A and B are shown apart, each in its own frame.
Chain A
Amino acid sequence: MSPMTLADRPAGMPALSLADLPVGARARVLCVALMDGLGDRLVELGMTPGAPIEVLRRGMLGGPVQVRIRDFALSLRRDQAGTVQVVMAV
């Protein structure tokens, strides 16, 4: 089974940036576009293709985003979240 890529996404579901999702949105991870160590870390923390993800909180004035991934709440900066591509869960 090969990891899901942008090409495999369900038909008609646009790829979105995690940073743009509103609080309460549930989605699935497509890929982490960031190709450096930080991107690797996000993948290790559970952001593997297909993993369910939910936006819990958004900090004020462009502050960090808190998401639920694999049963824990992770806070990351808005620009870091912007490198995570997701599709909305159906």
Chain B
Amino acid sequence: MAASQTNTCLHVALCGNPNTGKTTLFNQLTGRRAHVGNYPGVTVEQREGDHRTAEGGHWRVHDLPGAYSLTAHSPEEEITHQALTGQFGSVPQVVVVVLDASNLARNLLLLLQVAELGLPIVAALNMMDAAKQAGLAIDIAGLTADLGCPCVPLVARTGKGLAELEAAVELVAKRPELAAIAETAWSEPVLQAIASARACDERLATLPSGGVLWWLCAEPSLVDRLQPGLGQALRQAVPRELLPETDLRRRVVHERYQRIDAVTAQRVQRQGAPQRSQSDRIDDVLLHPLAGGLLFLLAMGSLFQAVFAWAQPLADGVAALMNVLASAVRDHLPANLLRAVLIDGVLVGVGGTLVFLPQILILFTGIALLEDSGYLARAAFLADRLMARVGLPGKAFVPLLSSHACAVPGILATRTMNDPRDRLLTILIAPLMSCSARLPVYTMVTAAVFAGSTPLFGILSLGGLIVAAMYFLGFLLALLAAAIFRRTLVPGAGAPLLLEMPPYRLPRLPNIARVLWDRGRDFVVTTGTTIVLLSVVLWGLMTFPQHGLDPAERTRLNAEVTAQHLQGEALAQAKAAIEARDAQIHLQQSAAGRLGHFIEPLIKPLGFDWRIGIGLVGSFAAREVLVPVMAQVYGKGSQADVDDRFAADVGRSMAGAGGLTPLSGLSLMVFFAIAMQCLNTLATIAREAGSWRWALFALTYLNTAAWLASLGVYQLGKFMGYS
């Protein structure tokens, strides 16, 4: 007997309402390090792990997503129901229903539904400490008698009560019994509905009454998807007095609550008036209409500042490191194509990936702190009104705010959103937020064509105003795009806001470290691979075919320099000019250069010539690359680090050569404000939205919108007589 017990593995499922500590219990049992959030909805997929009991037994533990009910209003609840009914393999032998002891009534609704399915259950009353603090005294023995299943008080965080839980599960596994509370009689009309449904369809004939009720109460669309043809039979089964079906559903829930209320009235004693918890008192400030709003702005402002500014030195460090690496490669390999592809393709891609890491890690440290402390749910509460106006949930606020620094971490931050459609919508509009990579482009144009204008009202420079207008333009278009997609791509209302505030907690450092490690590794490994591949392709476009300065021409130019008998600085400058001329011809003759010529008819109506066309092709690596590419096109040599002075200088060269006018400059800025020209964002969208189709869709819609907007600006401007 003992031997057979150690060999067989007991299937134990953990289920419960969101944020009741299932995952904490799972980690305690299995020693695994699953991500524990202080935010409802952290467990999205199913997790499994092994547990060895003190007596040598072997459990396979399944951590199911949080669910308020099995009626399946959300994907999480559907998964939970499917797992419990054995649609992913075997039916669990014991279900541990994790209950929040401080909020027993609502938690018991799920327990009742699980019990009605005929599953042997153990009730784990978690957060007993919080219940005690709230002034609740729970009669465990009485509760066990009323529910008809073992009830074990637990503090999963500290592991208190785990041994008792283990014993209770083993006991139930040996003698599976239906919890008594599930057998309580339903009212006459509900019983009638169950009987008629069983008679109507043989698939229901053998199910326990709770199983039949699940089908009767499920959304019709879900029924049709899971069991084609069953919906019709079910509709006929509902007695006239319980029609429409909503009435049946609500009647069933109401009757369950009547039973639950009868139990809790007896077994849960409230000592004194309802206690206000410490979290409630903190919320008095943090959710205060005025103070809460200001503190929210402060918190979000700091987060943004951290991503926007603090990441810069680190990113510069990464860039410097990549330069060191590039010189090392240059020193150790002969000058050939392999070296060129390594330096200008692979290393650029690797650097282009790693340079985002500081921003991503800083943003996720901030988000993890907000989430772990419990503030993220409050932020969603505070931002909800603002975001709901454009059909987005409050949770979209942090991702969209972060996208103003960079869309890549912003899109990654949408992982905190649990509705997949809201998340997709947020991902699609995130690239419209004016990110910091657009600034060098704005600087280049404004310095070249708007710098000479007289300040408006004496203080406001025209260039500054135009840059501000670009931020505003991106934001407005994001709202517009959200409104359009809400009516087309992801129709219907967004997910409703039904938010339960988790208690405030001190953030746990290991938890945050794990989030950072997981997110960082995932980005570098998965998204980084794509970025490197695309960088190599882009390098190829800008390198082949290799036509530089004609050898005869080079000899002639060299001879000219020699003839001038230049010394020192002047000589170096003259030589650099020849190299710049070589690079210029090389780029113009490359595939990218020809592409620039090729797309000229397409961009001419926007006021761009073929030279800007090359810049558009090249800046697909990252928007700020426009500046060095234009420098090369205009024969100003290639300079790796772009500062404001260099950008302005390049812009003035363009303007001097007639390649940039105030009107075409404005048109170029509008184009950059809207268009997606960032392969990092492209790769991130493909990864996060789960398909390249969405990445290509974003690319198409953004670039079409950019083209139309620039066309409008340029043509209207020309019509009005500007140039």
A→B interface (CB under 8 Å):
1, 3, 32, 35, 37-46, 48-49, 51, 57-64, 66, 70-77, 80
**A41, closest chain B residue (CB):** B73
Beyond A48-B250, A71-B103, list 16 extra A-B contacts (CB 8 Å): A3-B251, A3-B254, A35-B244, A38-B496, A39-B246, A40-B246, A41-B68, A43-B250, A51-B257, A57-B287, A64-B385, A71-B104, A75-B498, A75-B500, A76-B498, A76-B499
B497 in contact with A59 (CB, 8 Å): no
B71 in contact with A40 (CB, 8 Å): yes
- B236-266 interface bits toward A, Cβ cutoff 8 Å, 1 = contact, 0 = none: 0000000010100111011001100000000
Q: A48-B257, A59-B382, A75-B381 given as contacts; is B250 within 8 A of A40 (CB)?
A: yes
Q: A40-B246, A41-B68, A59-B384 given as contacts; is B253 within 8 A of A48 (CB)?
A: yes
A72 in contact with B103 (CB, 8 Å): yes
- Separation in Å of the B334 CB from the closest CB of chain A? 66
B105 in contact with A77 (CB, 8 Å): no
Q: A1-B258, A60-B289, A61-B385 given as contacts; is B496 within 8 A of A73 (CB)?
A: no
A77 in contact with B73 (CB, 8 Å): no
Task: Name the contact of B102 in the complex, choosing from A40, A49, A71 (C-beta under 8 A).
Answer: A71
- B481-504 interface bits toward A, Cβ cutoff 8 Å, 1 = contact, 0 = none: 000000000000000111111000
Looking at chain A's contact residues, the main secondary structure is mixed
- B274-306 interface bits toward A, Cβ cutoff 8 Å, 1 = contact, 0 = none: 000000100100010110110000000000000
- Bound-state Cα–Cα, A76 to B102, Å: 21
Please name all residues of chain B whose beta carbon is closer than 8 Å to the beta carbon of A49 when the two chains form the complex: 254
Please name all residues of chain B whose beta carbon is closer than 8 Å to the beta carbon of A77 when the two chains form the complex: 384, 388, 496-497
Please name all residues of chain A whose beta carbon is closer than 8 Å to the beta carbon of B381 when the two chains form the complex: 59, 63-64, 66, 75
Say which size band chain B's interface belongs to: 35 or more
Please name all residues of chain B whose beta carbon is closer than 8 Å to the beta carbon of A46 when the two chains form the complex: 105-106, 109, 257
Please name all residues of chain A whose beta carbon is closer than 8 Å to the beta carbon of B498 when the two chains form the complex: 41-42, 45, 74-76, 80
B257 in contact with A74 (CB, 8 Å): no
Please name all residues of chain A whose beta carbon is closer than 8 Å to the beta carbon of B500 when the two chains form the complex: 72-75
- Bound-state Cα–Cα, A30 to B261, Å: 17
- Bound-state Cα–Cα, A49 to B255, Å: 11
Please name all residues of chain B whose beta carbon is closer than 8 Å to the beta carbon of A35 when the two chains form the complex: 244, 246
Interface pairs A-B: 10 shortest CB-CB: A60-B289, A63-B385, A75-B499, A72-B103, A70-B105, A44-B69, A48-B254, A71-B103, A48-B257, A38-B496
B249 in contact with A40 (CB, 8 Å): yes
B244 in contact with A80 (CB, 8 Å): no
